[in-house]
């Protein structure tokens, strides 16, 4: 067993860690470590607790001297910072040069990998959502899946950055992703080929004459203007009667982009506000009086993979009674992270505020509850009862005139391919039927 040195010896050791910790403790004012700082007549407690600093220095010194392999003191200090931040919440993190580069890739939307938005849950990597049209989505990875192995190597014990680094790589290379999924008794293996991930932020199409569909995969810098262009392009094909805004499996992104999207549909008032300890963490974002749709009926689709910026948009439109929120309860990430530089190459990503919907609701760990719950479902057609006869089956039945409408429609059968989207379209049609007949809106 290694002998434990007396504390007096530890404090006397002239190591860099001791000097650093006491420099941090005494601060710029140069006060003694045990001194009580004062501001006017009000005494302030010491900035850092001396006993805990001594314990840290002792642990640092023991690891530096006794670990089985020699380890650089700078690496130990960086690991201490990582550990400090990782214990705060799942989103605060230390960013070395490689981590900061990955963050920039995420903002631009281009990198080599699988196309997964993930976080840490009970030492495993949890899938928030697969991104649209990526290898992970095509392979069948679902929100809520727990990644337990990557290429047969357990992820437990790895940092989130290490797991993300393992999933990324050269396009064309393969990786085996092993996941645990609710409802499955055994782990599932997915052999996935990496690709260049370049996620399109906004896609749009007409579901039916007059009914538009906008899918936002993730919120990037230009997402707001892109949504505006999508609405204009659909209007070129004719007047719009309703709009479906699809935010399912959207992991979030840039806060200002979420505000810009919500601003497109709200005439005036508060859209979202943030609150934290720092003065600059308290911000309000308001509509600029520019509802580009002219109060068009809107249904917003959400699910458990809708997070962060997606929840800002859904919460703003819900609080302003501007849209019907449909689907499943959202992920519940209601915190704001700020990048705080440490030097030219390193920084920390720190949770500095919580955001709130216009009515004052915090989404953190609660999410947005939809106005109408519609679960993801598989719809199966029932065979028509062949014994029932129709007019067309009768002998000598009259045929319709040539001018009559055949009644055929080119609309995709949404009930089979996407039940939630079909329900959204049905709701919009019903709204307009009631409006045309003079019913309540």
**Angle subtended by helix axes 73-86 and 50-66, to nearest 10:** 130
Least confident of 282-296, 338-352, 361-375: 338-352
Is residue 306 included in any domain, yes or no?
yes
Residue 319 appears among annotated catalytic residues: yes
What local confidence, expressed as pLDDT, does residue 441 receive?
Answer: 44
3-state SS assignment for residue 313 = helix
**Residues 214 and 361 occupy one common structural domain:** yes
Question: Taking a C-beta distance cutoff of 8 angstroms, is the pair 151, 166 a contact?
Answer: yes
**Residues 213 and 349 occupy one common structural domain:** yes
Is residue 62 included in any domain, yes or no?
no
Find the CATH number of the domain harbouring 157.
2.30.42.10
Is residue 44 included in any domain, yes or no?
no
Q: Of 152, 169, 198, which residue is a domain's last?
A: 198
Please give the average per-residue pLDDT across 196-206, as a whole number.
Answer: 87
Number of domains observed in the structure of the chain: 2
Calculate what percentage of the chain has a pLDDT beyond 70.
81
From the centroid of its chain, how far is CA 62? Answer: 40
Residue of 306, 333, 335, 418 with catalytic role: 333
What local confidence, expressed as pLDDT, does residue 379 receive?
Answer: 75
Residue of 246, 319, 335, 349 with catalytic role: 319
Is residue 380 included in any domain, yes or no?
no
DSSP letters spanning 156-213: TTS-HHHHHHHH---TT-EEEEEEE-TT-SS-EEEEEE-EEEE--SEEEEEEETTEEE
What local confidence, expressed as pLDDT, does residue 198 receive?
Answer: 77
**Residues 189 and 207 occupy one common structural domain:** no
Residue 308 appears among annotated catalytic residues: yes
For residue 18, what pLDDT band results from cuts at 50, 70 and 90? low
**Residues 338 and 255 occupy one common structural domain:** yes
pLDDT reading at 240 higher than 50: yes
344 vs 306, higher pLDDT: 306
Find the CATH number of the domain harbouring 317.
3.90.226.10
Structural domain boundaries enclosing 289: 202-373
Q: What is the mean pLDDT of the chain?
A: 84
Q: pTM of the predicted model, to two decimals?
A: 0.74
Residue 333 appears among annotated catalytic residues: yes
Is residue 257 included in any domain, yes or no?
yes
Which residue's structure tokens are 């997915």?
190
**Residues 356 and 209 occupy one common structural domain:** yes
**Residues 192 and 214 occupy one common structural domain:** no
Is residue 235 included in any domain, yes or no?
yes
What local confidence, expressed as pLDDT, does residue 410 receive?
Answer: 43
pLDDT reading at 114 higher than 60: yes
**Residues 223 and 191 occupy one common structural domain:** no
Is residue 345 included in any domain, yes or no?
yes
Is residue 222 included in any domain, yes or no?
yes
pLDDT reading at 27 higher than 50: no
398 vs 258, higher pLDDT: 258
pLDDT reading at 381 higher than 80: no
Please give the average per-residue pLDDT across 119-127, as a whole number.
Answer: 83
**Residues 352 and 208 occupy one common structural domain:** yes
Residue of 129, 306, 308, 310 with catalytic role: 308
Q: Which residues make Cβ contacts (< 8 Å) with residue 318, sequence separation at least 6?
A: 300, 325, 357, 368, 371
pLDDT reading at 36 higher than 70: no
pLDDT reading at 272 higher than 60: yes
Tell how strand 110-113 and strand 372-373 pair up: unpaired
**Residues 360 and 263 occupy one common structural domain:** yes
**Residues 331 and 275 occupy one common structural domain:** yes
């Amino acid at each position: 067993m290694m002998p434990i040195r007396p504390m007096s010896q530890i404090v006397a050791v002239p190591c860099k860690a001791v000097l650093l910790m006491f420099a941090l403790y005494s601060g710029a004012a140069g006060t003694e470590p045990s001194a009580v700082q004062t501001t006017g007549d009000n005494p302030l407690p010491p900035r850092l607790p001396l006993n805990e600093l001594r314990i840290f220095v002792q642990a640092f010194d023991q690891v530096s001297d006794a670990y089985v392999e020699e380890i650089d003191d700078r690496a130990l200090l960086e690991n201490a910072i990582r550990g400090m931040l990782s214990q705060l919440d799942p989103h605060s993190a230390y960013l070395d040069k490689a981590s900061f580069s990955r963050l920039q890739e995420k903002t631009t939307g281009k990198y080599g990998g699988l196309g997964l938005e993930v976080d840490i849950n009970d030492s495993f990597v949890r899938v928030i959502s697969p991104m649209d049209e990526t290898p992970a989505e095509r392979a069948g990875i679902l929100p809520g899946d727990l990644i337990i192995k990557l290429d047969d190597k357990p992820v437990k014990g790895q940092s989130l950055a290490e797991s993300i680094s393992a999933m990324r790589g050269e396009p064309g290379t393969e990786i085996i992703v092993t996941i645990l999924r609710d409802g499955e008794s055994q782990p599932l293996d997915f052999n996935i080929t990496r690709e260049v991930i370049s996620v399109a932020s906004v896609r749009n199409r007409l579901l039916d004459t007059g009914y538009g569909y906008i899918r936002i995969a993730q919120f990037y810098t230009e997402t707001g203007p892109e949504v505006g262009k999508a609405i204009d392009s659909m209007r070129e094909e004719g007047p719009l009667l309703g709009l479906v805004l699809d935010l399912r499996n959207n992991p979030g992104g840039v806060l200002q982009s979420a505000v810009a999207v919500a601003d497109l549909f709200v005439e005036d008032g508060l859209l979202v506000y943030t609150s934290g300890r720092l003065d600059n963490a308290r911000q309000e974002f308001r509509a600029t009086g520019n509802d580009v749709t002219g109060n068009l009926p809107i249904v917003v689709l959400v699910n458990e993979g809708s997070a962060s910026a997606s929840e800002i948009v859904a919460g703003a439109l819900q609080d302003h009674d501007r849209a019907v929120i449909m689907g499943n309860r959202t992920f519940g990430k209601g915190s704001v992270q700020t990048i705080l530089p440490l030097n030219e190459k390193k920084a920390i990503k720190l949770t500095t505020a919580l955001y709130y919907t216009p009515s004052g609701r915090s989404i953190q760990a609660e999410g947005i509850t939809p106005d109408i719950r519609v679960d993801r479902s598989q719809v199966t057609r029932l065979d028509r009862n062949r014994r029932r006869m129709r007019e067309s089956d009768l002998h000598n039945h009259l045929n319709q005139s040539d001018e009559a409408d055949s009644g055929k429609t080119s609309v995709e059968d949404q009930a089979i391919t996407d039940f939630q989207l079909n329900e959204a379209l049905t709701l919009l049609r019903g709204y307009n039927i009631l409006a045309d007949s003079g019913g309540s809106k």
